[in-house]
Structure formats: structure tokens, C-alpha cells
Structure 1
Amino acid sequence: MLLAAFVVIERRTTHPLVPLRITADRTRATSYFVMLIVGAALFAMFYFLGIYVQNTLGYSSLRAGLAFLPFSVGIVISAQVASALMSRMARGGRPAPEPRWRPSACGDSRASTHRARMPLTSSPGSSPWRSGWVSSSCRSP
């Protein structure tokens, strides 16, 4: 409802915040829509995982926040790496042969089918590869 109101207001004003003509290009409109969906999915993931970690696993608010720090650091680092790779590819570099979605898809599929009491951190000396947490289909050949 708010989105519809925003579109109506933006169409009628002389100086819109978001000119609707930017969605005339199909590729650009699709990329904006995908960015909207990804942002909404990340927000929902943090919200529901925060509730899960606090209510089901019994973490305090501070401990739950600290449990999400590695994920946030990973987002920041991967954004920097992706930016460097995109600038290199724009200069004529060749794309990597490995699909970029594979690690994320494998992690999501394993996390969604694992037990409810999945540890957020591994014990010293253990490895998710040795314990079988990472499935064989997710390993690189």
C-alpha cells in the first residue's frame, strides 16, 4: 500500500525523489527489483535468526549480536572483493569459471536441513568438513 502511494506521489510531482523513467530499461528495472528482494531477505534473515538465537538457543541480546558479527564482517569483506573483481572484469578480465552462487546455495541448503541445535561456532580443533556439516555436493571437484 505504501509502495503504491509512493508511486502515485512520484508520478504527480515535478521533482520526484526517484524518477520513474529509470525503470524504463528492462535490465535496470530487473536489477533494482532484485536488489530490493535481496535487501528484504537479508533484513528478514537477521530478524528471524535473532529471534531464533535468543528464544531457542537461549543467547542473551549481547551474545546474539556478537554471534552475527562474523556474518557482517563477511558481507563487508566480500563487498570489497566483489568491487575489485568487477573493476578488473570491466577492464577485459575473464570471469571465474566457478559459479558465484554455489557457496551461498550450498550453505543455505545445509543450514536449512540441519538440526535445530546447529552450533553457531565450532569447537577448537573441529572442522565443518570433518564433521560432515558441509555436504559432499558443495565441495569443489
Structure 2
Amino acid sequence: MVVATEEMAVYCFDTLVAHYSGEQPPPPAFEEGVHPLFVTWKKATNGSEPRLRGCIGTLEPRQIVSGFKDYALTSALRDRRFSPIQSKELPYLECTVSILTEYETALNHLDWEVGKHGLIIEFTDPDYNVRRSGTYLPEVAAHEGMDTTRDH
């Protein structure tokens, strides 16, 4: 099983730095593979808790080198929830990467473990009769303090 590594996050950071310097990022220090992936940027200032600054990825398997290169920039510059990250923010950024593996269908809404499983939620919006979806990476539930043991 392929797991996300520090080298993958460093490659994404190098890709963003290279975007601003007009240079090519150094070659990656990890093996190629084909997997769904996500790149997450957080920003911390004045010793504050890092806050989400961008997170975009794909559930479709991608070559991880080109995928991380593409999604490092997409999540930093084109996440519609945020203004594009500016070069002056680079010293305050943190980057994490996720590689998604071993999908399984949950038996019910409580059939998952906080911090271990991510969630892909799909539903039809009753107001517009449109399919909608959301993806929550495994670390999101743990960070947000979600508890699957309480009654909902």
C-alpha cells in the first residue's frame, strides 16, 4: 500500500515556490504510482492554530508525480473558497498530502472510524434535484472533533 510521505508534501511546496520563481521544481524524491490524491494548504500566523487555505484533489487515480504537481497549484491558486495564495504567504504555509486507498462502502452512517477513515458523501439535493457530493479526508474528522459514538 502506498502512503503519503513528507517528500510528497515537500514536492508540492517546491512546486508552489517554483510557480512564483518561474523555475521548474526539483525532481521528486518518491516513487511514481497511480492513486486518488489530495493536497491541503494551511496557514499559521503569529503562533495561531493553522487555518485551511486550500484543499483540492481527485478521486480519480492519477500519476502521483504529475497529480501532486497539478493539485499543489490547483489547491493553492484555484480553491473557490479562498483567494489565491500569494508568494508573501509562503513562509506561513504548511502542506499536507493524502493518498486515498482501499475504498469500501459503509453499512450505515456510523460505520467508520474517526481519524482512520475518510468519507465520500453523495446525495441528491431535493431543492434542485441535482447530485451533490463532498469528500472528507481522514484527518478532517479528527481535527474537527467529530464523534461517531453520540446520537445524531
**TM-score per shorter chain, which class?**
under 0.3
- TM-score by length of structure 2 reads 0.25
- TM-score by length of structure 1 reads 0.26
Higher relative contact order (CA 8 A, sep 6+): 2
Structure having the higher helix fraction is 1
